[in-house]
Amino acid sequence: MNRDRIHFLLLNIGHFMDHLFTLVFATVAALALTREWGLPYAALLSYATPGFLAFGLFSLPAGWLADKWNREGMMVVFFTGIGAASIATGLAATPLQVGIGLFVIGMFAAIYHPVGLAIVTARWKNTGMRIAVNGVFGNLGVASAALLTGFLIDHGGWRSAFVVPGVVSIGLGAAYAALRWPEVSAPRATTAASQATSAAPLSPDYRALMRRLSVIVFATTALTGVVFQATTFSLPKIFDERLRGIAESLAGSTERGHVAGMIGMFAFAVFTIASMAQLVVGKMLDRYGPRPVFMTLAVVQIVFFAAMPGLTNYWALAIALGFMLGAFGQIPINDYMIGRMASGAFRARVYGVRYVVSFTVLAAALPLVAVVYGNWGFDTLFRMLAIVAGGTLAVTACLPRRLPVAA
């Protein structure tokens, strides 16, 4: 494997680790802390909210710093910083300390999307497929958070679910620094100012089109962010309620430890299979463009969310796979559009703005899930998500059939 492929692999592993770290607590809260600390699930969600808020708010300064300083150096900061923060969270003794740890994890997690995606879209061709492959790794991180955390709860306790990935991430940071040291040690990664000043003036029609597309990108970012957060964070709890019968049957025991691992396995299977949708989406983006792909995935979500209320066991598992295919399939589309339209000199900052919107919505979605679940249960949440997907369908219908290329 040559140096270029190793670089792409490490960037993909970084996306995997990013989503793994942000969702470890989702499974820990659902399967361990509700019993160990005697707190209700809805109350535990409040300690995760600041971390997701940091995940969003720090995306913009991370992108700005990467453009001004060094994108490769920021990736080293990401790996080592998030690893150290996760280890510290695993040593927490109170819910407040866990909340502080999750906030710091969110700060470092905010680095990946504006910086890593800017590197991917700048270095390689076939942008749709590259982003799709990168997105699959991210979704495998989502899936593995449930699987690995369930396994570690069974065999080492919930603290090991934070400590073990933290140690691995610090090691990855050292490997990334060694591979990219000439770029990491450079004073600046790009000459943004010279690139910006050489750009040709934009026509009024082009500026109007870019404003229209910006509104669509940020509106769909917000809508799909609600769906993504509500489903990925809640799925372990949803499966704990809806699939408990088949989990106990397959585990061969009603002991909590065995069932936790089985619930994690179900979540991992659904997330992993659903993430493969991004490979199909990436190929379709390069061939057909974002409008028909986006609209099709919105329809998929509407159908499966509307079908989910009241279902349990195998039917619930099948329908959950359906709406997760739609939720994961949509992820690379906005990144693809930004990669096509944004100037390379400022691409990390544009991604930063996009992920400020995305992860601020993710943070806001957690209180929504807590309120809806605490008062009406998951069936009402599914109906609400079907309405949100309908909003996505309406907005994406306004996309032009062909995207402009970066000026």
pLDDT in tens, 211-247: 788 888 888 988 988 998 888 888 888 988 888 888 8
Portion of the chain with pLDDT greater than 90, in percent = 29
Q: Which residue has the tokens 């029609």?
A: 205
- The gap between the terminal CA atoms of the chain, to the nearest Å, is 35
46 pLDDT higher than 50? yes
Q: Which two tokens stand for residue 295?
A: 């609209």
**In whole angstroms, what is the distance from residue 16 CA to residue 142 CA?**
8
Residues 85 and 97: beta-carbon distance below 8 Å: no
State the pLDDT at residue 252.
Answer: 66
Crossing angle of helices 256-275 and 313-329, rounded to 10°: 40
Round to whole Å and give the CA distance between 63 and 78: 12
Average pLDDT over residues 298-318: 93
pLDDT top residue among 367 and 77: 77
190 vs 9, higher pLDDT: 9
Q: Which stretch of 81-85, 158-162, 209-213 has the lowest confidence by average pLDDT?
A: 209-213
Read off the tokens for 316.
């619930």
Q: How far apart are CA 114 and CA 166, in angstroms?
A: 21
Q: In this predicted structure, what is the pLDDT of residue 126?
A: 61
For residues 262 and 186, the model is more confident at: 262
Question: For residue 288, what are the contacts with CB-CB under 8 A and spacing of at least 6?
Answer: none
In 21-34, which positions are buried (b, 16+ CB within 10 angstroms) versus exposed (e)?
A: bbbbbbbbbbbbbb
Report which residue type is found at 10.
Answer: L
**Whether 49 contacts 367, CB under 8 Å:** yes
- DSSP state string for 315-356: HHHHHHHHHHHHHHHTHHHHHHHHHHHS-GGGHHHHHHHHHH
**pTM, two decimal places:** 0.69
- pLDDT higher for 135 or 96? 96
Q: Is 394 helix (H, G, I), strand (E, B) or coil?
A: helix
Q: Which amino acid is at 285?
A: L
Cα gap 212→177, rounded to integer Å? 40
Q: CB of 62 within 8 A of CB of 352? A: yes
Strands (E), 11-162: none
Q: How many CB atoms lie within 10 A of CB 166?
A: 24
| Residue-range domains of the chain with CATH | 3-186+204-396 (1.20.1250.20)
Give the list of residues 6+ apart from residue 196 with CB closer than 8 angstroms, or none: 343, 345, 346
> Which pLDDT does position 360 carry in this prediction?
74
Residue 144 has pLDDT above 50, yes or no: yes
Following CA atoms 360, 362, 365, 370 in sequence, which dihedral angle do they give, to the nearest 10 degrees?
A: -120
Which residue type sits at 188?
R
pLDDT digits (tens, 9 = 90+) for 267-285: 888 888 888 888 888 888 8
Cα angle for residues 359, 337, 193 (degrees, 5° grid): 85
Whole-number pLDDT of residue 59: 82
Radius of gyration of the chain (CA): 21
* Structure token digits, residue 58: 């720090």
